[in-house]
Amino acid sequence: MTDRSNAIKAGAGLLAAAALATATFLTNWEPGKDPGLVYADKLANGLPTVCKGITKHVTTTPVVVGERWSPEKCQAEELAAIGKVQAAVLRCMRREPPLSVLAMATSHAWNNGAGNTCASQAMVAWNAGDWALGCQRLSVSDGGSLVWSYVRTGRTLPDGKPEMRFVQGLANRRAAETTNCLEGLPK
């Protein structure tokens, strides 16, 4: 067996373990009042959302407001979608990450999109091998400002940029991602 095939096996095992860790983490942040009922997410400008945050961005299954998904469908769709998001995040990483980094990078991508996570300063740090700095950058910029805790209001500022509104719940989620990411790093 070549070193390359061993790395692929390790990657598959890492993906499976991180999928479970991500699904567990999402339970605290995407529970919904009625997880099987598809609703229009106000923070995402009415984007149809179901279960633990499933949207058209993470699944090919139609997500239609008002439909009801069974617990079994939620679980199957969530695990498939988490695996897809994790694979996208892992493709951006130049080094095999610790489990906690991949799980929290996936949570971040689940909430913000894999492209945004891949283009983030957290990913820059992880690709340089600085796992702790990358974890910190999930919630706070190097200058100390909260990041990834804002949503667009739908209005445009005079300079042409979108107006943003701070959301404490997003700041709390980012802080929890940072904490979980750091706690899982090798000592």
Residue 6's pLDDT is 36
Give the list of residues 6+ apart from residue 119 with CB closer than 8 angstroms, or none.
none
- How many folded domains does the chain comprise? 1
Taking the CA atoms of the chain, what radius of gyration do you get in angstroms? Answer: 17
Confidence of residue 42 (pLDDT cuts 50, 70, 90): confident
Q: How far is CA 169 from CA 29, 78, 126, 149, 165, in A?
A: 9, 22, 25, 8, 12
Domain of 61, CATH number, reads 1.10.530.40
Q: Is the pLDDT of residue 28 over 70?
A: yes
End-to-end CA distance of the chain: 31
Confidence of residue 99 (pLDDT cuts 50, 70, 90): very high
Joined together, the tokens standing for residue 165 give 């509104």
Q: Is the pLDDT of residue 3 over 90?
A: no
Confidence of residue 106 (pLDDT cuts 50, 70, 90): very high
* Chain segment 112-128, per-residue pLDDT in tens: 999 999 999 999 999 99
Residue-number span of the structural domain to which 112 is assigned:
3-183
Average pLDDT over residues 14-20: 85
- CA 51-55-56 angle, to 5 degrees, is 145
Percentage above 90 pLDDT, the chain: 68
Across the chain, mean pLDDT equals: 89
Residue 17's SS3 state is helix
Confidence of residue 32 (pLDDT cuts 50, 70, 90): low
